Amino acid sequence: AQRVTQPEKLLSVFKGAPVELKCNYSYSGSPELFWYVQYSRQRLQLLLRHISRESIKGFTADLNKGETSFHLKKPFAQEEDSAMYYCALSGRGTYKYIFGTGTRLKVLA
Amino acid sequence: EAGVAQSPRYKIIEKRQSVAFWCNPISGHATLYWYQQILGQGPKLLIQFQNNGVVDDSQLPKDRFSAERLKGVDSTLKIQPAKLEDSAVYLCASSLRLLAGNEETQYFGPGTRLLVL
């Protein structure tokens, strides 16, 4: 079955601490993985995608096909990182798009 | 550049009533998506349009939900009749074009929050 799992509903960290938001997936084909973010009172927006291998706002994510994971990491959390984060999967060659249930990140001062 | 527009922002109806949501994508975007997001869950893709054609509607409950995108621009999503479990935020998104694997960035609207009583 195609599935995206985000095991943590809420993650609280202190400002300056490292952050890791977990994402595991189940997909039989070749997946494309994404992270979306929704700040308070703002729209859902793309944060980064694995094919770009980019760092956005200090966040990075590496696709680990062996562990079927795509964890989002940032070495030093900032208060403005507080938001809802969704991991999403799309099947290469398909038009399917699957979101995880999201993790709320709270960065404490 | 104006973003994706949706209306209404909020809607409260009673079960068995009908409701329609409207979406205006970013100008020039060929692909339009409708998602349903139930409280505590991630967005669930209901239907995708490429211009005015349906690319995928496999998760659309067709007994009560319908969507159209006439002229390949604006789109409406209708629920008839509504059930309690349809209470959710309905998100519209658009992207420049559709590529297999959906590598194109999707731009989301603010959503319509529906409450069915």
Q: What six digits make up the tokens of A69?
A: 């994971």
Contact A98 B103 (CB under 8 A): no
- The distance of A5 to chain B (nearest Cα, Å) reads 10
What is the percent of chain A where pLDDT is above 90? 73
pLDDT band with cut points at 50, 70 and 90 for residue B102: low
At B9-62, the pLDDT tens digits run 999 999 999 999 999 999 989 999 999 999 999 999 999 998 889 988 999 999
Contacts of A15 (CB under 8 A, 6+ apart): A77, A78, A79, A107, A108, A109
At A16-69, the pLDDT tens digits run 999 999 999 998 888 889 999 999 999 999 999 887 777 889 999 988 989 999
Mean pLDDT across chain A, nearest whole number?
Answer: 92
The three-state secondary structure class of A66 is coil
The three-state secondary structure class of A51 is helix
Mean pLDDT across chain B, nearest whole number?
Answer: 92
Q: Token match 């069915």: residue?
A: B116
* Closest CB from B40, B93, B100 relative to A95: B100
Per DSSP, helices labelled H in A1-109 are none
Rounded distance, CA B58 to CA A105, Å?
A: 32
